[in-house]
């Protein structure tokens, strides 16, 4: 029986989806997760405790465990585990991306540099340290601009600034986020620097793709019908198939192929984001991972309507069936936005939302009585709405109608002094 290694930061719902798909295929699963190594396997799943901020060390631990439980393929979920996956794949002789290619993708600054050097269109950009004096930075900034951390995902910390006052406020807010205990605990590199780039107008498009030893295949084009113009960039609706003209989608595909080649990616899932305007497609991001959260549930493939998870597992293990194409029916997902930061006290309207024509499921992932942060400090959604209908327009309308049925009561969190410092939390913490 084949064994799949799943590398993931904590065992969330995306991890469970892949594990369930693997077991349904009769595939054994080994997890590698950044859980506490001092606990005696409290989840009773035999997971390998690793530190994704120490990828080479973590890969050695995975290789040692593979002597007992040999691994036939691997999948990395999310951005942080990909470097460890690359080191482990190299040592285990499993097809995957090189360490250099993954690292090209992990840093937003490195991505911009690689794309620029490959002569692909990129907005003007520069980086600076958070300790840099503002009077030295301001003369270099062109407005409107985007200010962002180098390593965070899901648009966390990404802010648009239209003038010097907004730019200085954005930098201060990002600095506060990067100095928070939650972000520092990740031990990510480059947390002391930010990227500043020109704002690109246009429509956003996401592409889900799959690389097989250098050959790229698009699995789905997603429209993002909501205008993502800032000041923050929380994503919401994804609809496939895209309503863009065939010629535009071909230009996006050409751009993606060039970007993937420039980054050095060769094998495994790819999730890419683009801005499209009158000048053509601009690469915002290329990531060697599948689409995040529960969004994969919006995709089905082949006559049996297999899930994206199953398709990617078949690909990772070299099983037949990874070449199946997406169904012809339109589908979509709404990542339910967070209207404000606070404690989630009540959710109403779930049954009405599920009863909306075209809706296939509504999943509230935020837990009651937990604090949830809105963007730009936030990175987790309230939940997901899924629809499937005959046309993209119907899918989008159904998502909006279902969302309109939901009511979320979010109350302000009372400030509490930190037990060690005696300080109150900063705004957005």
Q: What is the CATH number of the domain that holds 57?
A: 3.40.50.20
What are the DSSP calls for 63-84, one per residue? HHHHTTS--SEEEEESSTTHHH
Token pair for 234: 């929380």
Q: Check the CA dihedral 163-164-167-168 and report its sign.
A: negative
Distances (CA, A) of 49 to 68, 203, 367: 15, 41, 26
Token pair for 339: 């209207």
When divided into structural domains, the chain yields a total of 3
Q: Is residue 162 domain-resident?
A: yes
Does residue 10 have a pLDDT over 90?
no
Does residue 314 have a pLDDT over 70?
yes
Angle at Cα 150 formed by Cα 295 and Cα 55, nearest 5°? 80
Contact by Cβ (8 Å): 58, 52: yes
CATH number for the domain spanning 130: value is 3.30.1490.20
What are the DSSP calls for 2-47, one per residue? -EEEEEESS--HHHHHHHHHHHHTT-EEEEEE-S-TTS--TT-S-P
Does residue 41 have a pLDDT over 50?
no
347 and 424 together in one domain:
yes
Q: Is residue 255 domain-resident?
A: no
Domain ends where: 171, 198, 225? 198
Domain ends where: 198, 216, 249? 198
Q: In the prediction, which pLDDT does 425 show?
A: 58
Token pair for 300: 């089905």
**Span 141-151, average pLDDT:** 97
CB half-sphere exposure, 403, CA atoms < 13 A: 22
0.85 surpassed by pTM: yes
For 139, the enclosing helix (H) or strand (E) is: none
In this predicted model, what pLDDT tens digit does every residue of 226-268 receive, in sequence order? 999 999 999 999 999 999 999 999 999 999 999 999 999 999 9
Burial class (CB within 10 angstroms; exposed 0-12, middle 13-18, buried 19+) of 199: middle
Q: In the prediction, which pLDDT does 42 show?
A: 38
418 and 349 together in one domain:
yes
**Span 163-191, average pLDDT:** 95
94 and 132 together in one domain:
no
Q: Tell me the β-bridge partners of 74.
A: 5
- Looking at residue 69, what DSSP letter applies? S
142 and 194 together in one domain:
yes
Q: Is residue 386 domain-resident?
A: yes
The pair phi, psi for residue 299, each rounded to 5°, is -115, 135
What is the 3-state composition of the chain as percent helix, strand, coil, each rounded to the nearest 5?
Answer: 30, 30, 40
Nearest to 383 by CA among 350, 341, 428: 350
426 and 337 together in one domain:
yes
Nearest to 340 by CA among 234, 255, 415: 234
Does residue 359 have a pLDDT over 70?
yes
Percent of the chain surpassing pLDDT 70: 93
Q: What is the mean pLDDT of the chain?
A: 93
93 and 135 together in one domain:
no
Q: Is residue 62 domain-resident?
A: yes
Q: Is residue 39 domain-resident?
A: yes
Per the structure, the complete domain to which residue 24 belongs is given by 3-103
60 and 129 together in one domain:
no
Distances (CA, A) of 352 to 178, 216, 348, 382, 396: 39, 41, 9, 17, 17
98 and 128 together in one domain:
no
Contact by Cβ (8 Å): 282, 197: no
Q: In the prediction, which pLDDT does 45 show?
A: 59
Rg over CA atoms, the chain = 21
343 and 408 together in one domain:
yes
Q: Is residue 23 domain-resident?
A: yes
Domain ends where: 142, 171, 198? 198
Q: Is residue 79 domain-resident?
A: yes
Q: Is residue 146 domain-resident?
A: yes
In this predicted model, what pLDDT tens digit does every residue of 269-297 receive, in sequence order? 999 999 999 999 999 999 999 999 999 99
For 334, the enclosing helix (H) or strand (E) is: strand 330-335
3-state secondary structure of 336: coil
401 and 368 together in one domain:
yes
In this predicted model, what pLDDT tens digit does every residue of 369-421 receive, in sequence order? 999 999 999 999 999 999 999 999 999 999 999 999 999 999 998 765 555 55
Greater confidence (160 vs 423) lies with: 160
CATH number for the domain spanning 414: value is 3.30.470.20
pLDDT tier at 9 (50, 70, 90 boundaries)?
confident
- Looking at residue 329, what DSSP letter applies? S
């Amino acid at each position: 029986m084949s064994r799949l290694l799943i590398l993931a930061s904590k065992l969330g719902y995306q991890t469970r989806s892949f594990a369930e798909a693997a077991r349904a295929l009769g595939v054994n699963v080994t997890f590698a997760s950044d859980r506490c190594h001092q606990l005696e396997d409290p989840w009773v799943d035999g997971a390998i405790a690793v530190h994704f901020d120490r990828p080479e060390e973590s890969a050695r631990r995975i290789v040692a465990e593979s002597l007992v439980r040999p691994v036939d393929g691997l999948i990395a979920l999310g951005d942080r585990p990909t470097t460890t996956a690359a080191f482990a794949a190299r040592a285990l002789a499993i097809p995957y991306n090189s360490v250099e290619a993954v690292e090209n993708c992990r840093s937003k600054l490195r991505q911009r540099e690689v794309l620029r050097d490959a002569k692909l269109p990129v907005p003007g950009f520069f980086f600076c340290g958070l300790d840099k004096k503002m009077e030295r930075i301001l003369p270099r900034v062109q407005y409107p601009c985007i200010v962002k951390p180098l390593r965070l995902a899901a648009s966390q910390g990404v802010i648009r600034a239209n003038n010097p006052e907004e730019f200085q406020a954005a930098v201060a807010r990002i600095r506060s986020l990067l100095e928070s205990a939650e972000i520092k605990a990740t031990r990510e590199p480059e947390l002391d620097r930010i990227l500043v780039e020109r704002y690109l107008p246009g429509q956003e498009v996401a592409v889900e793709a799959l690389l097989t030893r250098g050959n790229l295949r698009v699995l789905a084009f997603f429209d993002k019908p909501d205008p993502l113009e800032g000041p923050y960039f929380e994503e919401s609706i994804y609809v496939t198939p895209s309503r863009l003209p065939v010629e535009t989608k071909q230009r996006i595909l050409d751009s993606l192929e060039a970007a993937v080649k420039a980054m050095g990616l060769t094998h495994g899932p790819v999730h890419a984001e683009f801005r499209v305007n009158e000048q053509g497609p601009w690469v915002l991001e290329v990531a060697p991972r599948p689409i995040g959260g529960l969004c994969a549930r919006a995709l089905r493939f082949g006559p049996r309507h297999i899930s994206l998870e199953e398709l990617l597992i078949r690909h990772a293990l070299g099983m037949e069936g990874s070449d199946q194409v997406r169904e012809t029916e339109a589908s979509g997902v709404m990542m339910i936005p967070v209207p404000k930061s606070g404690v989630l006290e009540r959710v109403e309207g779930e049954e009405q939302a599920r009863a909306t024509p075209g809706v296939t499921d509504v999943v509230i992932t935020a837990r009651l009585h937990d604090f949830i942060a809105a963007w730009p400090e936030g990175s987790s959604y309230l939940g997901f709405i899924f629809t499937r209908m005959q046309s993209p327009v119907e899918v989008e309308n159904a998502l909006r109608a279902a969302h309109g049925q939901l009511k979320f009561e979010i109350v302000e969190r009372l400030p509490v002094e930190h037990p060690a410092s005696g300080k109150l939390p900063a705004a957005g913490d």
